[in-house]
Amino acid sequence: MKTISLFVPLLAILASSLVHGAASKPNLIIVFCDDLGYSDIGPFGSKAHATPVLDRMAREGMRLTDFYSTCPVCTPSRSSLMTGCYPRRVNMHVDEKNLCVLFPAARKGLNPSERTIAEVLGERGYATACIGKWHLGDHPDFMPTSHGFDSYFGIPYSNDMNRKNVPLPLVRNLEVIEDSVQKDTTITARYTQEAVSFIRKNAGKPFFLYLPHTAVHLPLVPGEKFKGTSQAGAYGDWVHEIDWSMGELFKALKEEGVDDDTLVLFTSDNGSAREKQGSNLPLRGRKGRTDEGGMRVPCVVRWPTKIPPGSSSGAITSTLDLLPTAAALAGTELLGDKVIDGKNILPILLGKTNAHPREAFYYYQMDQLQAVRSGDWKLFVPMESKKRNWGKPEGKTELKLFNLAKDVHEDRNLAAQKPEIVKRLLALAEKAREDLGDLNRPGKGQRKAGWVDEPSPRLMVK
C-alpha cells in the first residue's frame, strides 16, 4: 500500500516502452460477470458449460490463475475495480445498515471525490461507457455519469432487488426507461447490442468500455435462444449466452479494425453461490466466504501481438490492479495524494515478469479481516465474529495456514508446523488492521464514502 504520487512517476515512461508499436492509447474493455464461478468457463476447466469464444480468447491471450476479487459479494468488489482500493479504504464494505451490499434508495454510495478508472481514462481523451449492473449507489451523485462515464445503460442494482417502492429499473444515464426488468430474458442481448454500438461509434478514438453483466446472478434469465442449450439448466444456458456476447464484442472489434489495439479482460465479481449450478472447483467455498472459492475468480486477458498467446500467470493479481494498469496502458501518471492499493500489472500481462506484484493480499468479508495471503501461504487469522450475515464464521476461529501451491482446496492446516510463517503473516494482518481497520476498529487510512440525507432512487417519471 502506498501513495499514488510515490509509485507512479515513471508510469508513462514504462507504459511507452512496454506498449512499443501499439496505438499510443490502446482501447480497454473490462467484462465483469456476476457470481460466475472459478471453473464455470472452459479456460478454467468447465465440463458443464461450452464456452468456445472464451476458450479461443485464452488460446490467444493469458489466464490469470490467481486473480482475486477484494470481497466475496457484489458492492464491495465493484468499488475496488473502480478505485483501485480495498472496500474498507473507501468505506464501501457495508451499507448504512451494516449489510453487505447497497440496496435501492440507499443514502450511501461511492464518494464522488474518489478517482475512478473512467475518470483517469477520460482525462486522457477516452470515450467511456458503463453498460450493465452498477451497484455503487443510485443517487445521481453516485451513478456512473458522476464517476467519469460519458454514458450509462443498465440496472443500478442486483437482479433480485425488485421492490414495491423501487421496481428493478432499466436506466439510461439517469433516466428510467423501463421500471421492472427483473425477469427480462433479453437483458444480456440488450447489453451486448449497446456495447457493440459503443465500439462502432468510437472506433476512431481510444475508448473504455466497462460491461458488468447481470448474468449469472439470481434470478436466472437466459435469452430464449439459449434456453436448453446446456446440460446445466438455466445457469449453464446463461453462461452460453455470456460466451456468445463475448463473440459479438470480438466480431465488432475486428470489423472496425481495432482488434489489435484493444485489451479485453474478462472476470467475475466473486465466486459462484450455487454448488449445484455453478462451480468453484478445485477451490473450497463459495460466494460470501473468504475461502478461495469465494474470492479467487476466473480471469482471461487478450491483446493480440502484445499478450503472449496461450500463456498463464500465477502472480497474485486483483481487481485492485485494473485502475493503475489502465493508467499505464494509457501512458498517464496517477498524480495525487490519495492512497490506492492496486499495482500496475501490465508487465505481467505482457509476459515481462511473473513475480508477485504485492507483499500481501487481504481477505475481508464486510468489515472483518479474515485472512491474509503472501506468496504461496494463506493464513486465516483468529477473530471474534458477531452473529450476523451469512458467510461469516461464528465464534472464535483458530489459526489456519495453507500452502495454496500444494493445497488449493485448503485441506491441510500447517499452522503448528510453520510458526515462523504464521508470525510473519500475523504481522502483515496487523499492518492491514492499522491501515484499513477490522470489525469496529477504524483504520488510519480509511476515507469516507459518499452520503446523502435524502435518497434518490431511479424511478420512472409518471
CA angle 176, 177, 181 (to 5 degrees): 90
Interatomic CA distance for residues 40 and 311, integer angstroms:
19
- Answer whether 28's CB lies under 8 Å from 263's CB: yes
Query: Cell digits for 21?
Result: 508499436
Residue in 49, 135, 147, 240 annotated catalytic: 135
Residue in 74, 85, 100, 130 annotated catalytic: 74
- 33 catalytic, yes or no? no
Query: How would you class 122 by CB atoms within 10 Å of its CB: exposed for 0-12, middle for 13-18, buried for 19 or more?
Result: middle
Q: Which of 342, 339, 343 is nearest to 434 (CA)?
A: 339
The helix, strand and coil proportions of the chain, stated in percent and rounded to the nearest 5, come to 25, 20, 55
Amino acid at 380: F
Q: Which of 321, 229, 314, 238 is nearest to 272 (CA)?
A: 238
- Answer whether 431's CB lies under 8 Å from 120's CB: no
152 - beta bridge partners?
A: 130
Query: Cell digits for 133?
Result: 449492473
Q: What is the residue-wise DSSP string for 148-192?
A: T-SEEEE-SS-TT---SSS---EEETTEEEES--TT-TTHHHHHH
- Answer whether 267's CB lies under 8 Å from 297's CB: yes
> Dihedrals φ, ψ of 103, to 5°?
-115, 165
Interatomic CA distance for residues 8 and 141, integer angstroms:
29
| 5, 351, 311, 52: CA torsion to nearest 10 | 60
373 - beta bridge partners?
A: 361, 378
Interatomic CA distance for residues 206 and 103, integer angstroms:
34
Distance of CA 106 to the CA centre of its chain: 21
- 74 catalytic, yes or no? yes
> Dihedrals φ, ψ of 68, to 5°?
-120, 145
Q: What is the residue-wise DSSP string for 47-93?
A: SSS--HHHHHHHHTSEEETTEE-SSSSHHHHHHHHHHSS-TTTTT-S
Interatomic CA distance for residues 307 and 52, integer angstroms:
20
Enzyme catalytic residues:
74, 135
